A and B are shown apart, each in its own frame.
Chain A
């Protein structure tokens, strides 16, 4: 449902379907019959937010409880925001059409740093006081979870509670506590203090941070009995973990418009740049039987005829081929097609190809991440050139002609030679096409090289590393271009694109920022900054002005090499991996040494303490 007041405005904005709800599968309840109203906010537009798996899981989980009504809220696109501000219409939730200010909980998912500015904007549009300290009484509890909660320091002034790790249990525990506190007439402060006792809950207002003269952190001190270290929550039995058997099926096309089944959580690889690979340890798989049952129910209930089997590295699922065969036993007769994203170069086989073969042959995408073997070893990508060429050959023989390769530039230890090797690797893929006898005849191959800029992230072995300056990154981008020309590669067969380094810079600042960035966030919000993830809205210039107004040097966070004994802003948060392990991995990177994956050899990252998953698999 949507507020009556917007009816007249809907045809003045693009895609009005974003703002009206009314989808099949939405949860409609009587607000007088529930104890807790939870507004699940995704700080981006409908089409992006509705594609996100986490919101689907938690939405259904919350709404299964009769006393909770969880609704969805998305960021209005700038055209709608303009209308809302002009007509004084507060941000509403899609199910009831009620303004955000009617809710007990306002929950945000933190998927990427560049969405932070939208959080402030959404709070303001919803009529919620921006600063935690300005919110009183036991209502408007602003909570947040998701990957960026691993270093939430830059937004601690705005959020009351962060959830660390898997949300399936901890979120409900906090909601239950709230319900009890409300019944007992407890104060907001009392509720927050009690919440901080729950494992996986971080109440930032209960911690004081002091700084050294050089700007680094001196100490983080808990107050009122809050724990000194906050541990993430982990769902250890994925088969028994809650998974929805139905989704809200959007009426308008969204980015990932299909059913999604999570096949496992975590990743065995430990690529040193990849935050997800460390945050979600240990690897926990679902059984083939469970995957098939859940997927079948989802397809039946939503009507989707396409399923994406989601994980961080699909081909690392131990039973990947048996799983695909089992799924196809019902999927084929029911005309449901399977897709397996995040395939590794070395996990691509004929068997898999046969099971996921769809009629439409689009291109294949792989991520070697670095051009040279030396650098791939240093970042622990563990992909070898001959594997890539073999895989491409299999793909070409299977009729594919388009290959997309993803790389990062600005990786630690990278030299200009490593950068030039990106173009060389692309050329070798083209050569492989022409040396494949059974290649598609009469078709030209096409290789796309895509280079993004490396952003050092917390809880990775590169968390101490400086990001390349924007000048260096631009130089490297141009160097690839030059290498393509030097190699005399036809531009009709090779496309090269690179991501804007400006956004990567801002991402680097906020990814490893501390509490002093809260002031910058607020200043940026006052300047009207939002939708930083959208190139049509992002302006680094505006951001730099905000930094300057607050007297903060962004390079301190992005481009400074941190010492191994420095207290990092996120050191009081525990995601299982120890700082000592990350340090060891970083030293190995300096020696260009790869590490074995979790199934080959345990490296003692610290996650065995969760007593399950890959750490205890039979080998």
Chain B
């Protein structure tokens, strides 16, 4: 039995598959691909798959991963991406399959490529929007309302902006690195919503997760 991790992209129509539904889509793809994977042996037996880091509804990603256990030790892992892609919707493409290196608990941060624009066209120019966003991120503190298990809480997210880089071009685009993982996870929308509120403009944000990292900035593998 091998612990296997598949890496996949999720975009297009598949951005709108929730985490729970992604689980169902993957289970059916595995069923259809006839991959022989380990099943739970309890009361309600089912194929066992786990996801390292859930992706928010509406986000695209270039670096999703899913773990399962292959029963046959001689299984050719390099053939798995193609086998699974034949069984998946267009918007989910597996591009790599390998034995898992890190534990999901090792994940510390994630990088998002973000593009923001006003919901109503022409309300603000992209250059002005970029400017305001830059100003916003250079504030001494950024207080946002974060939903926690104990209700809404005011949190200063400024220290959590691990890296930030504006991108050249016509649109207001930037990369943002934020803490990620099971202990502390900051959703980029938390910042974007707070920004939208501060400028008083309804914004649309196109968000793609482009990297998931462990301690020291190494790629999660």
- Would you give 29 A-B contacts (Cβ < 8 Å), ordered by A? A2-B13, A8-B204, A10-B58, A16-B16, A16-B57, A17-B17, A17-B18, A20-B12, A22-B12, A22-B13, A24-B29, A251-B13, A251-B14, A252-B17, A252-B21, A253-B21, A257-B24, A299-B31, A300-B32, A302-B28, A302-B32, A303-B29, A303-B30, A303-B31, A303-B32, A303-B87, A304-B28, A304-B31, A305-B27
A458 CB to nearest B CB, Å: 40
Chain B residue nearest to A300 (CB atoms) is: B32
Contacts of A303 in B (CB 8 A): 27-33, 87
The 0/1 profile, CB within 8 Å of A marked 1, for residues 85-100 of chain B is 0011111000000000
The 0/1 profile, CB within 8 Å of B marked 1, for residues 257-269 of chain A is 1000000000000
Knowing A16-B58, A359-B45, say if A305 contacts B31 (CB, 8 Å): yes
16 new A-B contacts at CB < 8 Å, known A20-B12, A305-B27: A8-B119, A11-B57, A11-B58, A20-B13, A20-B16, A23-B89, A24-B29, A249-B89, A251-B16, A251-B25, A252-B16, A252-B21, A253-B20, A303-B28, A304-B28, A359-B44
Residue with the highest number of chain B CB atoms closer than 10 Å, among A1, A7, A300, A305: A305
Knowing A17-B16, A300-B32, A301-B32, say if A251 contacts B58 (CB, 8 Å): no
Let me know if A252 and B18 touch, CB within 8 A. yes
Contacts of B88 in A (CB 8 A): 24
Residue with the highest number of chain A CB atoms closer than 10 Å, among B13, B27, B39: B13
Let me know if A10 and B28 touch, CB within 8 A. no
Contacts of A304 in B (CB 8 A): 28, 31
Chain B residue nearest to A12 (CB atoms) is: B119
Chain A residue nearest to B91 (CB atoms) is: A22
Let me know if B87 and A24 touch, CB within 8 A. yes
Residue with the highest number of chain B CB atoms closer than 10 Å, among A252, A253, A257, A299: A252
Which A residues form the contact surface with B (CB < 8 A)?
A: 1-2, 7-8, 10-11, 16-17, 19-24, 249, 251-253, 257, 299-305, 335, 359-360
Let me know if B17 and A251 touch, CB within 8 A. yes
Knowing A251-B14, A303-B29, A359-B43, say if A24 contacts B89 (CB, 8 Å): yes
Residue with the highest number of chain B CB atoms closer than 10 Å, among A1, A2, A7, A303: A303
Residue with the highest number of chain B CB atoms closer than 10 Å, among A10, A251, A305: A251
Contacts of B18 in A (CB 8 A): 17, 252
The 0/1 profile, CB within 8 Å of A marked 1, for residues 45-79 of chain B is 10100000000011000000000000000000000
| Nearest 10 pairs of A and B residues by beta carbon | A22-B13, A303-B32, A303-B28, A20-B13, A303-B31, A16-B16, A17-B16, A8-B204, A24-B89, A251-B17
Let me know if A1 and B21 touch, CB within 8 A. no
Contacts of A252 in B (CB 8 A): 16-18, 21
Interface residues on B, range: 20 to 34
Contacts of A20 in B (CB 8 A): 12-13, 16
Contacts of B25 in A (CB 8 A): 251
Contacts of A301 in B (CB 8 A): 32
Q: How far is the CA of A10 from the CA of B119 in the complex (A)?
A: 12
Tally of contacts, chain A with chain B, CB under 8 A:
77
A587 CB to nearest B CB, Å: 52
The A-contacting residues of B in range 1-46, CB under 8 angstroms, are 12-14, 16-18, 20-21, 24-25, 27-33, 39, 43-45
Chain B residue nearest to A249 (CB atoms) is: B28
Q: How far is the CA of A300 from the CA of B34 in the complex (A)?
A: 8
Chain A residues touching B, majority SS: loop
Residue with the highest number of chain A CB atoms closer than 10 Å, among B44, B45, B58, B89: B89
Contacts of B204 in A (CB 8 A): 7-8, 11
Q: How far is the CA of A513 from the CA of B118 in the complex (A)?
A: 50
B10 CB to nearest A CB, Å: 11
Contacts of B43 in A (CB 8 A): 359
Q: How far is the CA of A22 from the CA of B44 in the complex (A)?
A: 31
B36 CB to nearest A CB, Å: 11
B93 CB to nearest A CB, Å: 12
A29 CB to nearest B CB, Å: 15
Q: How far is the CA of A7 from the CA of B60 in the complex (A)?
A: 13
Contacts of B14 in A (CB 8 A): 22, 251
Q: How far is the CA of A7 from the CA of B13 in the complex (A)?
A: 10
A250 CB to nearest B CB, Å: 9
B94 CB to nearest A CB, Å: 13
Contacts of A23 in B (CB 8 A): 13, 89
Chain A residue nearest to B45 (CB atoms) is: A359
Chain B residue nearest to A23 (CB atoms) is: B89
Q: How far is the CA of A249 from the CA of B90 in the complex (A)?
A: 12
Contacts of A22 in B (CB 8 A): 12-14, 89-91
Let me know if A360 and B89 touch, CB within 8 A. no
Contacts of B28 in A (CB 8 A): 249, 302-305
Q: How far is the CA of A252 from the CA of B23 in the complex (A)?
A: 10
Contacts of A10 in B (CB 8 A): 16, 58
B143 CB to nearest A CB, Å: 24
Let me know if B45 and A17 touch, CB within 8 A. no
B37 CB to nearest A CB, Å: 11
Chain B residue nearest to A359 (CB atoms) is: B44
Q: How far is the CA of A11 from the CA of B58 in the complex (A)?
A: 7
Contacts of B91 in A (CB 8 A): 22
Let me know if A17 and B21 touch, CB within 8 A. yes
B90 CB to nearest A CB, Å: 6
Contacts of A359 in B (CB 8 A): 43-45
Q: How far is the CA of A464 from the CA of B40 in the complex (A)?
A: 57
Contacts of A300 in B (CB 8 A): 32
The 0/1 profile, CB within 8 Å of A marked 1, for residues 132-152 of chain B is 000000000000000000000
A505 CB to nearest B CB, Å: 37
A56 CB to nearest B CB, Å: 16
Contacts of B119 in A (CB 8 A): 8
A239 CB to nearest B CB, Å: 26
Q: How far is the CA of A22 from the CA of B17 in the complex (A)?
A: 11
Q: How far is the CA of A251 from the CA of B12 in the complex (A)?
A: 12
Q: How far is the CA of A303 from the CA of B88 in the complex (A)?
A: 10
Chain A residue nearest to B120 (CB atoms) is: A8
Chain B residue nearest to A253 (CB atoms) is: B21
Q: How far is the CA of A10 from the CA of B205 in the complex (A)?
A: 12
Chain B residue nearest to A24 (CB atoms) is: B89
Q: How far is the CA of A335 from the CA of B32 in the complex (A)?
A: 12
Knowing A10-B58, A24-B87, say if A1 contacts B32 (CB, 8 Å): no
Residue with the highest number of chain A CB atoms closer than 10 Å, among B28, B58, B91: B28
Q: How far is the CA of A2 from the CA of B12 in the complex (A)?
A: 9
Contacts of A1 in B (CB 8 A): 13
A104 CB to nearest B CB, Å: 25
Which of B30, B44, B87, B90 lies in contact with A360, CB distance below 8 A? B44
Contacts of A302 in B (CB 8 A): 28, 32
